[in-house]
A and B are shown apart, each in its own frame.
Chain A
Amino acid sequence: MLDFALKVSVVLFAIAVILNLYRVAVGPSLPDRILALDTMYVNSIALIVLFGIWLGHRTYFEAALLIAMLGFVSTVAVCKYLLRGDIIE
């Protein structure tokens, strides 16, 4: 049961990442693209956690934590650049 649920959820998360990629490519404005990239890193955290469950290892947890922190920082940096024209004033 767990194997089947893992496979189904990996497929659903992959479809979600593909939909986000569509929004990154099409998105008519810059905040749309930033929002889609933000959603993509959140989905990739979930994919990495699923991969760790699949292998039964704890190693991939640190990678997910790093992606969470760097993704948040990059989103805030790009938003700040759009808002003020500068990141660190």
Chain B
Amino acid sequence: MIALYTLMEGIIAFFLIAGSIFALIGSLGLARMKDFYMRLHGPSKISTLGVGCVLLASIAYFSLLDSGPSLQELLITIFLFITAPVSAHLLSKSALHQKLERDPRTRGNPQELQEDDDEHTSEESPQGSSKLP
């Protein structure tokens, strides 16, 4: 029984540390990257991997505390997994609508950004995403 408790404690600690490291890396990407279209990449890691790991740790901890399964935290996980792509899609649509500036290293050449982009990326082919880095 003591061995089971020690093992579960190690698993919970691993999930907590892994989730918080994912969250720190995602927020660092949000703070450090160049333009909005790059910055959109970091927070999706937080809401899937970071909070997912923390909620798994919470499920394991409360299951151990009550000596029975406690699956309430799965509600938050499922809700976040469903809503994260929707909000990211809406954010990118509003950014394209506002014609935000983009870094020349950002790949892709969407229709909405093409007319004010002609002077410095005119040598690109229309399918700019096939360009090698």
State whether these chains interact. Answer: yes
Alpha-carbon distance between A2 and B7 when the two chains are bound, in angstroms = 11
Known: A16-B46, A56-B65, A82-B97. Is A43-B90 also a contact (CB below 8 A)? no
A-B pairs under 8 A by CB, number: 152
A interface: dominant SS: helix
Q: Which chain B residues have a beta carbon within 8 Å of chain A's beta carbons?
A: 9-10, 12-14, 16-17, 19-21, 23-24, 26-28, 30-31, 36, 39-40, 42-43, 46-47, 50-51, 54-55, 57-58, 61-62, 65, 70, 72-73, 75-76, 79-80, 83, 86-87, 90-91, 93-95, 97-98, 100
B23 touching A35, Cβ below 8 Å:
no
User: Which residues of B have CB within 8 Å of A52?
Assistant: 58
Contact A5 B12 (CB under 8 A): yes
Minimum distance in angstroms from B87 CB to a CB of chain A: 5
Q: A5-B17, A76-B87, A76-B90 are in contact. List 11 more A-B contacts (CB 8 A).
A: A1-B9, A2-B13, A4-B13, A23-B30, A31-B36, A31-B98, A39-B43, A46-B19, A49-B51, A53-B57, A58-B72
* A58 & B62 in contact (Cβ 8 Å cutoff): yes
B89 to chain A, nearest CB (A): 9
Give 1 or 0 for each of A53-75: 1 = CB within 8 Å of chain B CB.
10010100100110011001001
List 15 interface pairs A-B (beta carbons < 8 Å), by A numbering. A8-B16, A9-B16, A13-B20, A13-B23, A16-B27, A19-B28, A20-B31, A29-B98, A31-B95, A43-B50, A46-B19, A46-B20, A68-B76, A72-B79, A76-B86
Interface SS of chain B: helix
Question: How many A residues touch B, CB cutoff 8 Å?
Answer: 48
The answer on a CB contact under 8 Å between B91 and A35 is yes
A32 touches B39 (CB 8 A): yes
Complex Cα distance A22/B24, Å?
A: 14
B26 touches A16 (CB 8 A): yes
Q: Within 8 Å CB of B76, what residues of A?
A: 45, 49, 61, 64-65, 68
Shortest Cβ gap from A43 to chain B (Å):
6
For residue B56, give the distance in angstroms from its CB to the closest CB of chain A. 10
- Contact assessment for A31 and B100 in the assembled complex, using a CB-CB cutoff below 8 Å: yes
